[in-house]
Amino acid sequence: MHRPAANDARGVVSVHDAILALIPALMAFAALVGAMLSWSWGTALAVGSVPASTTIGYALFYNPPAAVSEN
């Protein structure tokens, strides 16, 4: 896989960068939904951990990061 030079990659978000941003967003969303539904924090975060864990599994096993070749 060819990665562009550092100055050419500004503003480019990779799939793995988006996944790293999605994990805490899912947990925060679950906490907000849990607060609106009057769930306990433990229940809300347990519910939020399911999609967050699925996202991590996707990033690690289905679409793993590839080694960057130096050209």
28-37 pLDDT tens trace: 999 999 999 9
Distance CA 71, CA 63 (A): 23
Average pLDDT over residues 9-27: 86
pTM of the model: 0.72
**Tens-place pLDDT, residues 39-70:** 999 999 999 999 999 999 998 899 887 776 66
Give the contacts of 40 (CB within 8 A, at least 6 positions apart).
34
Distance CA 34, CA 49 (A): 13
**Residue 51 has what pLDDT?**
94
- Tell me which H or E stretch contains 70: none
